[in-house]
């Protein structure tokens, strides 16, 4: 039995998902590649968004991948940490904005 | 920051045999990754063969005023290996008598060789098409006797190629030592003042970027764009081209990879990024590297690994263009550094 759920070496095997469904796997990787191409947003901006989202979804593979990608692109650690704070702010904001629902419910139920 | 070379520290990794052993064993022996020979065999490019010899790259000595963390030469102030006038004279003879059109002086800090200026003057008279000096920049400010180097370079129409790992202080100083960034900026401004790197100037000033860590360089053009904007806005510095160079896993960079537990992942990244198109133009196909003591190598990296060219006349005093053009190039797993992504050479990307 595996002792951990995550193994860093598994990131290198990501491409193998096509082994069990080539068509969908290939379609996904083609789409993935296109998404990260230079477009209205620069590849650098996309890399920072990916890093922030990686933290939101707490994907260790993605965090490793996009920290490395950012280093390659010359993204500084200050920029990376600011991006993580953006993710954290949205995440905590999402928690807190539900506080309004709580307040509404509380008020409704209270005399 | 390192204070001493691996050589002076008597580190096991200062021995070329140990480095070659590491590069041949482990992940490459147990089949986790293919050897470079197997990889190029699989794309029909084995054995690696040279084309016409166009570039003579002379390592005029391992002495340097800096001790950079990634240095593949393991250069530093404690290295005493210096090319003699006699060996330089042999190099001049080769330039005179062969089809070599580019001369590329490297080190260490080539300017620290006591015969550097004499050699530049003599070689200039021979009408070399492209005469490169790889300057670490800070040497220009290291001592009063070097302050006039920009004017000296300009007088001899030297093509200056300088390392600046990043356009920000932190990353540069971390790799090359405290204060290196500020001195490099000042030196670049001095080069600009005599006309180097200015738009439309014939005085060529190119910069070399190499990653400050266990990752590969990104797109050379994108980096050049970022460097140009940042250096112009922040310091009013102009330069011509940026060369993105991949760190090869030998000497100090290999030491760093092993100590930081990045060696296997880094080798994996290099192998994963293998680009057969880059193999066509790797620099060993048109360059001969000469060591301070006159031995010939396929490239500066093979020189640092002690892998002399695979011909019997392997000294500059017996340089034979025809025999050298018919040799097999010696390879090991470090060669993956030159074939990853867009490729890497002393002239930047190759694919």
Confidence of residue A1 (pLDDT cuts 50, 70, 90): low
Structural contact between residues B275 and B339, judged by C-beta atoms closer than 8 angstroms: yes
With respect to residue B4, please indicate whether it lies within any of the assigned structural domains: no
Q: Shortest Cα distance from B215 to chain A (angstroms)?
A: 6
3-state secondary structure B185-198: HHHHHHHHHCCCCC
With respect to residue B344, please indicate whether it lies within any of the assigned structural domains: no
Quickly list H helices, chain B: 16-24, 36-42, 85-97, 116-124, 139-142, 149-155, 169-176, 180-193, 220-235, 251-259, 263-272, 276-280, 300-304, 321-325, 336-339
For residues B171 and B295, the model is more confident at B295
Q: Which residues of A touch B (CB under 8 A)?
A: 12, 43-44, 68, 71-74, 76
Cross-chain CB nearest to A72 (options B166, B215, B272): B215
Q: Report the distance separating Cα B231 and Cα B182, nearest Å.
A: 12
Structural contact between residues B77 and B1, judged by C-beta atoms closer than 8 angstroms: no
With respect to residue B5, please indicate whether it lies within any of the assigned structural domains: no
Which chain A residue has its CA at the smallest distance from B210's CA?
A: A72
Contacts of A18 (CB under 8 A, 6+ apart): A25, A26, A29
Q: Report the distance separating Cα B233 and Cα B209, nearest Å.
A: 19
Phi, psi of A83 (to 5 degrees): -65, -40
Beta bridge partners of residue B132, listed in sequence order: B104, B159
Q: Report the distance separating Cα B329 and Cα B309, nearest Å.
A: 7
Q: Check residue B2 and give its pLDDT.
A: 64
Q: Report the distance separating Cα B281 and Cα B351, nearest Å.
A: 7
With respect to residue B130, please indicate whether it lies within any of the assigned structural domains: yes
User: Do the chains contact at B216 and A72, CB–CB below 8 Å?
Assistant: yes
Which chain B residue has its CA at the smallest distance from A11's CA?
A: B265
pLDDT in tens, B171-210: 777 777 888 899 999 999 999 999 999 999 999 999 999 9
With respect to residue B206, please indicate whether it lies within any of the assigned structural domains: yes
Give me chain A's average pLDDT, please.
Answer: 95
Q: Which residues of B touch A72 (CB under 8 A)?
A: 211, 215-218
* Statement: residue B169 has pLDDT above 90: no
Q: Which residues of A touch B226 (CB under 8 A)?
A: 74
With respect to residue B7, please indicate whether it lies within any of the assigned structural domains: no
User: Do the chains contact at B223 and A76, CB–CB below 8 Å?
Assistant: no
Number of structural domains, chain B?
1
With respect to residue B93, please indicate whether it lies within any of the assigned structural domains: yes
Q: Report the distance separating Cα B339 and Cα B276, nearest Å.
A: 7
Instruction: List the CATH number of the domain containing B113.
Output: 3.20.20
Q: Please state which of the ranges A73-77, B144-148, B169-173 shows the lowest mean pLDDT.
A: B169-173
Q: Which residues of B touch A (CB under 8 A)?
A: 166, 168, 211, 213, 215-218, 222-223, 226, 268, 272
Q: Which domain holds residue B18?
A: 12-339
User: Do the chains contact at B168 and A43, CB–CB below 8 Å?
Assistant: no
Q: Report the distance separating Cα B277 and Cα B43, nearest Å.
A: 10
- Sheet containing B296-297: which strands, arranged edge to edge? B242-244, B205-209, B159-163, B130-135, B102-106, B55-59, B287-290, B296-297
Beta bridge partners of residue B348, listed in sequence order: B345
User: Do the chains contact at B213 and A71, CB–CB below 8 Å?
Assistant: yes
Q: Which residues of A touch B168 (CB under 8 A)?
A: 76
Pairing of strands B287-290, B296-297: antiparallel
Q: Check residue B259 and give its pLDDT.
A: 96
Which is it for the CA torsion B241, B247, B248, B250, positive or negative?
Answer: positive
Beta bridge partners of residue B308, listed in sequence order: B297
CA angle A29, A31, A36 (to 5 degrees): 95
ipTM for the assembly? 0.78
Q: Report the distance separating Cα B217 and Cα B221, nearest Å.
A: 11
Q: Which residues of B touch A48 (CB under 8 A)?
A: none
pLDDT in tens, A22-48: 999 999 999 999 999 999 999 999 999
Q: Which residues of B touch A44 (CB under 8 A)?
A: 222
* Statement: residue B64 has pLDDT above 70: yes
Contacts of B351 (CB under 8 A, 6+ apart): B275, B277, B278, B280, B281, B341, B342, B343
* Statement: residue B59 has pLDDT above 70: yes
Please give the domain boundaries of chain A with CATH numbers for all domains. 15-109 (1.20.1290.10)
Name the token pair of B313: 């006349």
* Statement: residue B1 has pLDDT above 60: no
* Rg of chain A over all Cα atoms, to the nearest angstrom: 19
pTM of the complete model = 0.91
Which is it for the CA torsion B181, B186, B189, B191, positive or negative?
Answer: negative
Structural contact between residues B38 and B31, judged by C-beta atoms closer than 8 angstroms: no
């Amino acid at each position: 039995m595996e002792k951990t759920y995550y193994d860093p070496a598994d990131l290198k095997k990501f491409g193998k998902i096509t082994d069990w469904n080539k068509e969908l796997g290939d379609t996904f990787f083609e789409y993935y590649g296109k998404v990260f191409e230079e477009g209205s947003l620069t590849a650098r901006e996309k890399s920072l968004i990916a890093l922030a989202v990686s933290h939101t979804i707490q994907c260790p593979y993605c965090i490793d991948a996009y920290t490395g990608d950012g280093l390659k692109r010359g993204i500084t650690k200050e920029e990376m940490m600011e991006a993580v704070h953006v993710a954290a702010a949205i995440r905590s904001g999402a928690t807190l904005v539900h506080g309004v629902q709580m307040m509404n419910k509380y008020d409704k139920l209270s005399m | 920051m390192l204070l001493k070379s691996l050589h002076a520290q008597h580190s096991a990794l200062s021995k070329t045999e140990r480095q070659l052993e590491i590069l041949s064993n482990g992940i490459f022996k147990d089949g986790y990754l293919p050897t470079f020979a197997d990889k190029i065999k699989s794309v029909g490019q084995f054995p690696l063969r040279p084309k016409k010899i166009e570039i003579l790259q002379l390592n005029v000595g391992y002495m340097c005023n800096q001790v950079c963390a990634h240095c593949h030469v393991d250069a530093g102030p404690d290295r005493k290996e210096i090319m003699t006038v006699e060996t330089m004279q042999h190099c001049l003879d080769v330039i005179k008598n062969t089809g070599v059109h580019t001369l590329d002086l490297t080190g260490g800090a080539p300017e620290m060789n006591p015969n550097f200026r004499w050699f530049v003057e003599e070689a200039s008279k021979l009408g070399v098409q492209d005469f490169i000096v790889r300057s670490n920049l800070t040497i220009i400010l290291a001592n009063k006797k070097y302050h006039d180097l920009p004017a000296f370079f300009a007088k001899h129409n030297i093509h200056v190629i300088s390392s600046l790992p990043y356009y920000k202080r932190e990353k540069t100083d971390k790799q090359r030592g405290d204060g290196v960034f500020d001195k490099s900026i000042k030196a670049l401004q001095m080069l600009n003042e005599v006309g180097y790197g200015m738009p439309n100037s014939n005085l060529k000033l190119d910069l070399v970027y190499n990653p400050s860590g266990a990752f590969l360089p990104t797109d050379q053009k994108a980096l050049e764009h970022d460097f140009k904007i940042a250096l112009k806005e922040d310091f009013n510095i102009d330069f011509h081209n940026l060369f993105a160079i991949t760190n090869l896993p030998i000497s100090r960079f290999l030491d760093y990879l092993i100590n930081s537990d990045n060696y296997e992942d880094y080798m994996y990244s290099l192998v994963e990024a293998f680009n057969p198109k880059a193999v066509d133009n790797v620099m060993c196909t048109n360059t001969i590297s000469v060591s301070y003591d006159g031995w010939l190598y396929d490239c500066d990296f093979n020189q640092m690994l002690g892998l002399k060219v695979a011909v019997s006349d392997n000294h500059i005093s017996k340089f034979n263009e025809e025999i050298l053009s018919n040799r097999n190039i010696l390879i090991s797993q470090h060669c993956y550094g030159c074939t990853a992504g867009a490729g890497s050479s002393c002239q930047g990307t190759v694919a």
